[in-house]
Amino acid sequence: MVKPKPTKKETRQEIANQIDAFLKSKGEIQHADMGESGLVDGKYNTSHIGFGEPRQERTPLTHVVAEMQKRKAGPKANTHIQKRRKKVIVYDDFGDPIRWHWEEE
Domain ranges of the chain: 8-104
pLDDT in tens, 35-73: 777 777 777 766 666 666 777 888 999 999 999 998 887
- pTM for the structure as a whole: 0.33
DSSP reduced 3-state for 102: strand
pLDDT in tens, 89-103: 999 999 899 999 999
